[in-house]
Amino acid sequence: MELRQRLRQIRTLAVAAALVLLSPVGPLRCRSHDIDVVELTLLVGAQDKGAVCLDGSPAGYHLQTGSDTGSQNWIIHLQGGGWCSTVKGCSDRKMNEFGSSNFMKPQSFSGILSNDQQINPGNTNAGTICHPVYIVVQGFLDNSVFPLFHLSRFYNWNRVYVRYCDGASFAGDSQLEDQSGSKLFFRGERIWEAVIDELMEKGLAESKQVVVLQIKELCHVVLYVCLPAFQALLTGCSAGGLATLLHCDNFRARFPPNILVKCLPDAGFFLDKGLIRAKVHVVCIQWSCPPSECHESFTQGLSHIQGSNRELMKSIKTPTFVLNSAYDSWQIRNVVAPDGSYSDSSWLSCKADIRNCNPAQIQVLHGFRNTMVDELKSVEENMGWGWFIDSCFTHCQTVYDISWNSPVSPRLGNKTVSEAVGDWYFGNQQEVEEREVDCEFPCNPTCSSRLPNTAAA
């Protein structure tokens, strides 16, 4: 009994000492569960850098600074919003948030960007390179090891939402005039570079390795405490998910090799079927190629605007987690069965709600799903890669609380999206593989009709 009491006393002292050391403002404290509404930050010197939206207004982002054990960690989220593939379509965007920062409002942070620990827990083994965190009590009971606590989860990281206003997944670099003679700026690549450069100056570049502190003469024992390491995650939804794939290795290259950096494209796994014509137009506009050279420039520009998913993903060296629905609602409406592609009006009902699809239509959708699963085989050998391919009729699952982590979140392998991503990001990739592919629709009972399915890509 006396021995157990002494063990409890030592552990209490150890936890208290570690809490004070690990928190930059004192002991860890409870956080508000209120939804974050974060103001827009316009890029400094955007015009001088050419980092402007389609209308020439400065690009911007929303930054919620991290706290406590998450203050050294960063999530960069790239907003989605589809491509504009014609001059008129891009010009029309100048009158909304997808082409001008003049229309951008404060942004609510939810899902993977939420400050609510219950909604956004990450993984219970999160925190440091030497996770889970332990205190080693040296000189007492033969160097006893006590599990301490888990340091950092996504909810208290530095969280950034980068606004999308270039029309081509942060990838173009040209300008031209629209039908009215006004200039259109296609500067997605410059926006990407300028935003990341500015965030590096705000702390993204302040990478830190794990530090082990030795605290002597505390109850005649020596305590070793692991401090959190710097970690970064690049993610994005839809067109932002594609941008995540395009810029993943560039993002990784900005940090020393010892820093944990990974990528999470959400609903960014676009199949080539039905998109070839759109890609040709996007490449021609975004790189100002003459119409006669359009197809040649398209071929040369595939590495910039997706091209083949198979080849793009095979080229990525950074650990990546592919999150996608095999029955992605946006792709079904715009790639599998775009308006005018079928004379049968029943497709309108099918595209509105997959439960309305007839058996023949379901077979078409199964074919789309099977193609996506086959494409994933190209990265089966990639170290550190994972995926979560569910069969829900939805689009984008990281940015909504209901999809990310709620009672009606999709589940695969008895894990929600949040749990699967957390286990992949923080887990030991040598021991755990997070690779789940759902069965064909309508097999998964956790696919709720309440999941969002109208988000623009």
Task: Write phi, then psi, for 284 (nearest 5 degrees).
Answer: -60, -40
Residue 124 and residue 115: Cα distance in Å, rounded?
Answer: 16
Q: What is the pLDDT of residue 79?
A: 98
Instruction: Output the CA angle 339-342-346, nearest 5 degrees.
Output: 90
Beta-carbon contacts of residue 456 (< 8 Å; ≥ 6 apart): 80, 81, 82, 238, 330
| Token pair 């006590």 in the structure block, residue | 146
Q: What is the pLDDT of residue 145?
A: 42
Q: Pick the closest to residue 22 from 176, 265, 223, 266 (CA basis).
A: 223
- CB 254 within 8 Å of CB 232: no
Residue 366 and residue 281: Cα distance in Å, rounded?
Answer: 29
Q: What is the pLDDT of residue 178?
A: 83
Q: What is the pLDDT of residue 70?
A: 87
Q: Pick the closest to residue 143 from 134, 152, 151 (CA basis).
A: 134
Stated as kind and residue range, the H or E segment containing 374 is: helix 359-376
Q: What is the pLDDT of residue 35?
A: 67
Omega before residue 291 within 30° of 0, cis:
no
* 238 catalytically annotated: yes
Report CA-CA distances (Å) from 379 to 139, 307, 414, 453: 48, 16, 24, 27
Residue 129 and residue 201: Cα distance in Å, rounded?
Answer: 24
Residue 344 and residue 351: Cα distance in Å, rounded?
Answer: 12
- Segment-wise mean pLDDT, segments of 10 residues, the chain, 457 residues: 49 42 36 72 97 98 92 95 90 97 97 91 46 40 40 82 96 87 94 97 70 43 52 96 96 92 95 52 50 40 50 92 97 90 87 95 96 91 94 96 94 94 78 86 95 74
Q: Structure tokens of 430?
A: 């040598």
User: Choosing from 116, 166, 328, 401, which is the catalytic residue?
Assistant: 328
Q: Structure tokens of 381?
A: 């050998």
* 353 catalytically annotated: no
User: Choosing from 91, 238, 297, 409, which is the catalytic residue?
Assistant: 238
User: Choosing from 62, 77, 131, 395, which is the catalytic residue?
Assistant: 395
What residues form DSSP beta bridges with 174? 186
What residues form DSSP beta bridges with 162? 61, 78
Provide the CA 394 distance to its chain's centre, in angstroms: 16
* φ/ψ bin of 111: left (φ > 0), alpha (ψ from -120 to 50), beta (otherwise): left
* 328 catalytically annotated: yes
Rg (alpha carbons) of the chain, rounded to whole number? 24
Residue 283 and residue 51: Cα distance in Å, rounded?
Answer: 19
Q: What is the pLDDT of residue 290?
A: 46
